[in-house]
């Protein structure tokens, strides 16, 4: 039998006295309006005396309403380059942006870890310091469900509306279409048509769009949704060089030199700025000097004697081969015990091929074996669970969620894992790899061959099953309940609920409510999973919808239920979501 949602309509009988009171009030209002209409003109306010602040307040409200309707999520840009480094490349980027006769698409390309994201951040900061309008967006494949092509164009439109009145007016007139989920239609509404209103402006007054980590759009692209989003991104970006009035706006992108991006932007219609690494480094390139400057600053902070610093720099700088993430990882690795850790690096076995990426993998292997080489079997299980969940989760997880995974189950275990990964993860409560190249290493055949005990890290089905079980266990438990935020009344609008109150929804409940179906569809049909889903659908459905509403994701409920129907274990009628 299909679940049925019942909406009860309640009719309340109103007394005749109340009806008479309402009629009296209405009559009084009509009489007052009539009296006001005959007031002599000399007693009326001169419209010219209406404060400009009232007009400004109205315009600000219209802008606020527009920005709210546009929505869109954005991540901060990565940290910029260290002061005094990468100056030649930054100057090249800046020159191309100012070149009105050059291509309007500037592609900063390079191998993993060469500092593309830092260059994007530095370029944006330098342009803003010069008074330019710079709108920026960074993709992150660990957050591919929210950091999407749809979000990109909404964020760009939001910035443009703040800066340019003509774009603000254009978007306000087309406000009814801003909810479109069609990316191509959205690009036309938010970008193509509004930018056509920017006429008569100098090149310096035009906005510059910076898109970092273009190749991370769509996440790992295991799923059709990720591949679809990446295709939509490339398709809309291609229009940047095809539509005449868009050709005057500079678009700066960073990515690895992937073939699909090369097909979208061949060098005949875009400017390539290649970041050298490995055998591509020429004697005149300044990258080695920049890496030496960076490493010297980090080693000096460790307060080891200058002679040792010089010896370490002479050994490390040539081996970085232009890969800044290699230098960053080495600096983090040396942090706790510089001399001991440096001896480990000097003694490690190195293959005949020491290209930048291969040597980066060798460094990552050294980090893992040094930290976990003597781990117990129970610890190995926990390490594999955490690494795999970090790769295959739909967004980065914090320790309170990761402790729900089998084998982890305590903050002490999480601290042990964090200590071992300190060289390759960001600081903060969210476990996030510092660079995509470490995730690539974990999924590589060299990792599986070198560390067979941790090969479960690469078993996607295993981790999807664990994550699905974690989500369903949360939703069938008392953690998902009626009135999640303990509100005194149900008549409060979501927008009027303080953020501090909404924050009482735990990260685990938030993640489970949002992504349970994404993980469920990748798991086998089991009776326990089926019972859990049925329990949530029949007993916890309204509680779940309440959470989604408080999270501002009511519109996703239908999509989640539709996705859940793709799981063969969910034996319910399709009419449930029709």
Residue 160 forms part of a structural domain: yes
- The verdict on residue 180 lying in a domain is yes
Res. 409: pLDDT tops 50: yes
What is the structure's pLDDT at 53?
64
Cα gap 564→578, rounded to integer Å: 13
Whether the pLDDT of residue 348 is over 60: the answer is: yes
Instruction: Assess if residue 130 is contained within a domain.
Output: yes
Q: Which of 275, 296, 317 is the last residue of a domain?
A: 275
List pLDDT tens digits, range 12-21.
344 444 445 4
In this prediction, residue 5 has a pLDDT band, given cuts at 50, 70 and 90, of very low
- State how beta strands 397-398 and 430-431 pair: antiparallel
In this structure, the answer to whether residues 307 and 434 fall within a common structural domain is: no
Whether 511 is in a domain gets the answer yes
**Residue predicted with more confidence, 71 or 439:** 439
**Residues 213 and 119 reside in one and the same domain:** yes
Do 436 and 488 share a domain, yes or no? no
Helix (H) or strand (E) holding 518: helix 507-520
Average of per-residue pLDDT across 536-562 = 92
CA-CA distance, 144 to 73, in Å (whole number)?
A: 11
At 573, the pLDDT band (50, 70, 90 cuts) reads: very low
DSSP secondary structure string for all residues of 243-307: SGGGTTSEEEEEE---HHHHHHS-TTTSEEEE---GGG--TT-SHHHHHHHHHHHHHHHTT--HH
Residue 197's pLDDT is 95
pLDDT tens digits for 143-158? 888 899 999 999 999 9
Q: What are phi and psi of 499, to 5 degrees?
A: -60, -30
**CA distance linking residue 96 with residue 271, whole number of Å:** 8
Is 210 in the same domain as 111? yes
At residue 27, the pLDDT reads 54
The average pLDDT across 553-557 equals 88
Inside any domain, residue 521: yes
339 domain-assigned:
yes
CA dist 117 and 437 (Å) reads 13
pLDDT of residue 278: 87
Give CA–CA dist 193/161, Å, rounded. 13
Same domain, 335 and 308: yes
Question: Looking at the predicted structure, is the pLDDT value of residue 34 above 90?
Answer: no
Q: Let me know whether 156 and 258 are in one domain.
A: yes
Q: Using a pLDDT cut of 70, give the percent of the chain over it.
A: 86
Q: Does 436 share its domain with 478?
A: no
* CA-closest candidate to residue 152, choices 109, 105, 187: 187
Residue 352: pLDDT band (50, 70, 90) is very low
Domain end, chosen from 216, 248, 275, is at 275
Q: What distance in Å separates the CA atoms of residue 189 and residue 491, rounded to the nearest whole number?
A: 35
121 versus 497: which is more confidently predicted?
121
How far is the CA of 358 from the CAs of 157, 258, 291, 347, 353, in angstroms? 41, 18, 18, 17, 7
- Which CATH number is 120's domain given? 3.40.50.300
54 pLDDT higher than 80: no
Q: Which of these three, 215, 240, 275, is where a domain ends?
A: 275
Sheet of strand 250-255: strand arrangement: 134-138, 208-212, 250-255, 105-109, 271-274
* Residue 272 β-bridge partners: 107
Do 454 and 474 fall into the same domain? no
For residue 311, pLDDT beyond 80:
yes
The three-state secondary structure class of 231 is helix
Give residue 121's pLDDT: 97
d(CA 323, CA 327): 7
| 113 shares a domain with 240 | yes
Residue 63 sits at φ, ψ, to 5 deg, of -65, -45
Overall domain count for the chain: 4
- Rounded to an integer, what distance in angstroms lies between the CA atom of residue 396 and that of residue 399? 10
Kindly state whether residues 271 and 291 are assigned to the same domain: no
List the single range of 175-179, 440-444, 471-475 with lowest mean pLDDT.
175-179
175 neighbors 160 (Cβ within 8 angstroms): no
Is residue 375 located within the same domain as residue 402? yes
Residue 349 pLDDT greater than 90, yes or no: no
Residue 414 is assigned to a structural domain of this protein? yes
430: domain range? 371-458
User: What's the pLDDT score for residue 172?
Assistant: 86
- Virtual torsion, Cα 525, 527, 532, 536, nearest 10 deg: 80
SS3 call for 13? coil
Average pLDDT of the chain, as a whole number = 86
Is 565 domain-assigned? yes
Rounded average pLDDT over 309-321: 93
Whether the pLDDT of residue 4 is over 60: the answer is no
pLDDT, one tens digit per residue, over 366-391 is 999 999 999 999 999 999 999 999 99
Count the residues in the chain.
578
- Residue range 215-256, pLDDT digits in tens: 999 987 667 788 899 999 999 999 999 999 999 999 999 999
Residue 121 shares a structural domain with residue 267: yes
């Amino acid at each position: 039998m299909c679940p049925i949602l019942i909406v009860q309509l309640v009719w309340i009988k109103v007394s005749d006295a109340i009806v008479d009171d309402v009629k009296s009030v209405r009559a009084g209002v009509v009489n007052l309006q009539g009296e006001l209409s005959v007031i002599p003109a000399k007693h009326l306010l001169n419209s010219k005396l209406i404060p400009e602040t009232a007009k400004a307040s109205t315009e600000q409200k219209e802008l606020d309403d527009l920005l709210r309707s546009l929505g869109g999520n954005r991540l901060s840009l990565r940290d910029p380059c260290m002061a005094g480094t990468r100056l030649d490349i930054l100057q090249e980027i800046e020159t191309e942006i100012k070149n009105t006769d050059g291509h309007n698409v500037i592609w900063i390309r390079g191998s993993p870890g060469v500092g593309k994201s830092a260059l994007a951040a530095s370029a944006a900061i330098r342009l803003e310091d010069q008074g330019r309008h710079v709108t920026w967006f960074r993709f992150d494949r660990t957050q591919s469900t929210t950091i999407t092509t749809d979000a990109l164009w909404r964020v760009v439109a939001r910035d443009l509306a703040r800066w340019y009145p003509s774009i603000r007016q254009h978007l306000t007139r087309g406000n009814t279409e801003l909810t479109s989920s069609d990316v191509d239609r959205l690009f036309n509404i938010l970008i193509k048509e509004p930018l056509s209103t920017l006429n008569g402006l100098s090149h310096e007054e035009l906005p510059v769009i910076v898109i970092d980590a273009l190749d991370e759009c769509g996440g790992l692209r295991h799923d059709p949704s990720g591949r679809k989003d990446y295709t939509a991104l490339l398709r809309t970006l291609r229009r940047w060089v095809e539509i005449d009035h868009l050709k005057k706006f500079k678009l700066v992108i960073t990515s690895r030199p992937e073939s699909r991006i090369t097909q979208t932007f061949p060098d005949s219609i875009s400017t390539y700025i290649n970041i050298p690494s490995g055998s591509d480094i020429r004697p005149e390139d300044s990258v080695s000097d920049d890496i030496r400057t960076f490493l010297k600053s980090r080693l000096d902070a460790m307060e080891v004697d200058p002679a040792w610093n010089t010896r370490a720099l002479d050994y490390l700088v040539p081996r970085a081969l232009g890969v800044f993430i290699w230098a960053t990882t080495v600096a983090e690795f040396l942090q706790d015990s510089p001399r001991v850790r440096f001896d480990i690096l000097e003694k490690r076995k190195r293959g005949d091929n020491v290209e930048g990426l291969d040597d980066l993998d060798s460094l990552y292997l050294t980090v893992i074996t040094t930290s976990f080489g003597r781990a117990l079997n129970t610890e190995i299980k926990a390490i594999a669970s955490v690494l795999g969940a970090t790769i295959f989760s739909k967004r980065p997880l914090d320790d309170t969620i990761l402790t729900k995974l089998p084998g982890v189950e305590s903050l002490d275990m999480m601290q042990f894992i964090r200590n071992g990964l300190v060289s390759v993860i960001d600081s903060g409560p969210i476990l996030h790899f510092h660079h995509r190249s470490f995730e690539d290493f974990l999924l590589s055949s060299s990792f599986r061959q070198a560390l067979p005990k941790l090969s479960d890290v690469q078993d996607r089905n295993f981790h999807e099953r664990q994550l699905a079980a974690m989500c369903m266990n949360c939703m069938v438990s008392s953690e998902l309940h009626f009135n999640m935020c303990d509100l005194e009344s149900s008549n409060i609008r979501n927008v009027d609920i303080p953020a501090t109150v909404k924050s009482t929804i735990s990260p685990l409940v938030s993640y489970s409510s949002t992504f349970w179906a994404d993980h469920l569809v990748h798991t086998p049909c089991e009776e326990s999973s089926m019972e859990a889903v049925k329990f949530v659908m029949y007993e916890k459905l309204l509680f779940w919808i309440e959470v989604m509403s408080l999270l501002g994701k009511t519109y996703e409920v239908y999509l989640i239920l539709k996705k859940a129907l793709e799981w063969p274990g969910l034996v319910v009628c399709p009419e449930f979501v029709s």
